[in-house]
Chains A and B, each alone.
Chain A
Amino acid sequence: MADLAGIDWAVAAVLLPLIGAMACFAVPRAAATIGLAAVAVTGAAALALGLQVAAEGALTVPLGGWGAPLGIDLRADGLSVVMLVMTAGVGLLVSLSALGERDARRRRYFWPLWLLLLTGLNGVYLSGDLFNLYVMIEVISIAAIGLTVLRGNLAALKAGLEYLFASMVGAILFLLAVGLVYLNYGRLDLSGLAGIAGAGDAVLAAVLALTLVGMALKTALFPLHYWLPAAHAGATAPASALLSALVVKASLYIVLRLFQYLVAPSEVMVTLIGALGATAMLWGGIQALRAPRLKLLVAWSTVAQVGLIFVAFARAGADGTAESWKAAALIMLAHALAKAAMFLAAGRIKDEVGHDEIARLDRSPIRPTLAQFTFALAAISLIGLPPTAGFAGKWMLMEGAIAAGYWHWVVVTLVGTLLSVAVFSRVLAGFLRFDRVRGPLGEHQGWALADAPPLVLALGALGLGLIAVQVLAFLEIGAPLGGTTGVWP
């Protein structure tokens, strides 16, 4: 169905970054300008798609005109459009801050890799076919590994290799799940599978388990998070912002989709997910407390926040999942904005101060106050203090938990909040301490144009809290109602 100005925005959202990536690769000298233009145009396409979905409800695009089981469908409903717009927005701002990259090789290769990553992300959020999700995940992981190792030093390369192995294992487990689905149902399209997936048979159990383990590996849920801190802390600032804020979300999105389409999880599965999420929050918090460097601290806080998202999903038990995926989506959104702002701010602080060891942060006479202020704003959203988006997410989480009587998730979230307060106050104290400063204290220095993108992102995280109700309403458009009624044994 041709639509809004005759262009099929869903296909445009995937092909535009691809064409941009190729253009950047073909003309390396002009990579930055072409790249930025491509990201901007993709953002516009995502917005146009959003307007269309807002107007006409969920949108299905049968590619090649063949229809669901044979061909591949692109499906854009509330959740996918919110993720698309988030990716485009955060991506555009991170791209702006990536313009400041001085090293020639990095500048040449950041843009094609980033645009390929964008293609993969948009592909995942729009895909309505299981195997297509697998291929998109591979595009994402290869581009993400390219970004992780872009810094080029030994530590980044080793972290990148570990990340590659983890994502390859995850992808293969997902491939197995796709194989099992095809073996039993002979079709791969999500909407088709939603109907016929039988209640509680062993296959769906295996598929769900495989996908969960595979995606947990790629999104670094607690026991399988070993690769994330080194990879995200080792990368350059814009790259780590993209990795932490956007790449982690793709596999989370797939888990949500599977729970929506294939089978509603049982009580056992939901409590297991919640428990893993809770341990992730605690472990991430403790490790962040001990992290010596700023970027490592921020990477560990990603591990904790991923745990929080899984707790949000598990907040109201099995029958509550029809509602709690929205709380999880809101926290994902808040985390994307705040984490991107924080990584960029950390990168700015490291550029200005010269190092990012937390213990010695307060000794340097140079104080990039604007970057520190952005870091503090992002921290406030990650902690979940009002009126930020993080707070709105946590409020939804705890409200659902109390309504359903699951008090333990409320206690877990409060402890997690206190832990993250301790983590970030350690950094903020370093910003505000002046008695051990060596040399005259400059005033208002360290302010640069490069501070603008992180500040806008942090203010976005702050402001999003105020419009949380519109976002939640938008999420409900075309959302499949909790997949089948079948409950896994």
Chain B
Amino acid sequence: MDAMLVFDVALALALVGLAWAVLAAEDLFAAVVLFIVFGLMTALAWVRLAAPDVALAEAAIGAGVTGALLLATLRRIGGAESAETTPRPVLIGVGALAAAVTSGLGAAFLAAPAQGPGLEAAIAANLAASGVEHPVTAVLLNYRAYDTLMEVVVLFAAVVAVWSVAQAPEPATPLLGPLHAGFARVALPAAVVVGAYLLWAGATMPGGAFQGGAVLGAVAILALLARDYVPAPAHRAWARGAFLAGTAVFALVAAGVGFGPRMAFEYPPALAKPLILLIEAVVTLSIAATLAALFFGREPEPLGVEVEARK
């Protein structure tokens, strides 16, 4: 098995090297591209550490959607760079601090028991009652469903914050030409099928709401880029509904089951699987809409509205 160790060491070094390259790149665009590569490499690392779900999420959200957001912002701020650099003594001081913190963490990490105690036994024991076969989905949507609800709330909060911040309409993106339109007509429906499949597979294999949502989000972003769909002010009500659908269904189901003898978030055993699938489906749609809205970056104001400058 030592061949894989060589690969692991190589990948680890590549990761550290890439991390330094991302932050040391002199040009912002290069930094973002290197960051996307770093994201993909991390996904590879997750695969090596036997965490397929996380690899999918990292690739789809960590590298894909985040990369798209970064590139979009880069275009909007036009690569304006503040030239000031931090003075050398501060660099050395903070460097020493960071090194100290990291080495402290390293010591604590090495002192920790390798492959120490965990909850895998408890998960396996309760898997039958959780309504899904795949352990990660069971943890996400049943054991720690409260965490996942709050995670979707964070996403919802992000879109509320972004809509409250951004206002002024901005210059339109350049057209991507006919070839892309043809490709889009073929690829996008296929991607939608892939997204739906990912959602469905989540119950038994690595996959699930977030990964599926991310793929569908990517589809929406491509549609926005190709301006197949231009968000109009009239669509705002629909968009608001889409953003909060996931959280609303999740919260109402969680509270709903809470009435009567059972605890909140405690699905009745017979209904566990359908309920989880219902929640996952709506959450996937919600995530896709939210990620696309985050990419679009602002509430689609009626174009004519002249937003007076804040005093």
List chain A positions with a Cβ less than 8 A from chain B.
2, 6-8, 11, 15, 18-19, 21-22, 25-26, 61-66, 69-72, 105, 108-109, 112-113, 116, 119, 123, 129, 131-132, 135-136, 138-139, 142-143, 145-146, 149-154, 157, 176, 180, 183-187, 201-203, 205-206, 209
Please tell me if the beta carbons of A72 and B146 are within 8 angstroms of each other in the complex. yes
Contact assessment for A116 and B147 in the assembled complex, using a CB-CB cutoff below 8 Å? no
Inter-subunit contact A113/B161 (CB<8 Å): yes
Given contacts A8-B258, A64-B266, A186-B117, contact A146 B108 (CB under 8 A): no
Cross-chain contact of A152 among B258, B265, B310 (Cβ < 8 A) = B310
Interface contact A109-B160, CB-CB below 8 Å = yes
Q: Which A residues are in CB contact (< 8 Å) with B147?
A: 72, 129, 131-132, 135
Give A159 Cβ to nearest chain B Cβ, in Å. Answer: 13
Task: Check B160–A180 contact: CB distance below 8 A.
Answer: no
20 chain-A/chain-B pairs, Cβ below 8 angstroms? A11-B254, A22-B244, A22-B247, A22-B251, A25-B160, A62-B263, A63-B266, A64-B264, A65-B265, A113-B157, A131-B144, A131-B147, A132-B150, A139-B157, A153-B310, A180-B108, A184-B113, A186-B117, A202-B111, A206-B107
Known: A109-B164, A132-B147, A135-B151. A8 touches B263 (CB 8 A): yes
CA distance A16 to B107 in the complex (A): 44
**Distance A152 CA – B163 CA, assembled complex (angstroms):** 12
B side interface size, CB within 8 A? 56
List B residues 146-162 near A (Cβ within 8 Å). 146-147, 150-151, 153-154, 156-158, 160-161
- B243 CB within 8 Å of chain A: yes
Q: Residue A143 contacts which of B157, B163, B241, B267 (CB distance < 8 angstroms)?
A: B157
Asked if A25 and B116 make an inter-chain contact with CB atoms under 8 angstroms apart, the answer reads no
Indicate if the CB atoms of B111 and A72 lie closer than 8 Å: no
In the complex, A343 Cα to B147 Cα: how many Å?
34
Report whether A15 and B266 are in contact in the complex, using a CB–CB cutoff of 8 Å: no
B161 touches A26 (CB 8 A): no
Contact present for A26 and B311 (CB under 8 Å): no
Binding site for A on B (CB under 8 A): 104-105, 107-109, 111-113, 116-119, 122-123, 126, 142-147, 150-151, 153-154, 156-158, 160-161, 163-165, 167, 240-241, 243-244, 247-248, 251-252, 254-255, 258-267, 310-311
Say whether A186 contacts B167, CB under 8 Å.
no
Known: A153-B311, A187-B119. A105 touches B265 (CB 8 A): no
Chain B residue, CB-CB nearest to A103? B310
Q: A132 — nearest CB in chain B belongs to which residue?
A: B147
A470 to B167, CA, bound (A): 49
The docked-state distance in angstroms from the alpha carbon of A15 to that of B255 is 8
Q: Which residue of the partner chain A has the closest CB to B255? A: A15
Q: Considering the complex, give the chain A residue whose CB is closest to the CB of B252.
A: A19
Residue of A nearest to B122 (CB): A70
Indicate if the CB atoms of A184 and B116 lie closer than 8 Å. yes
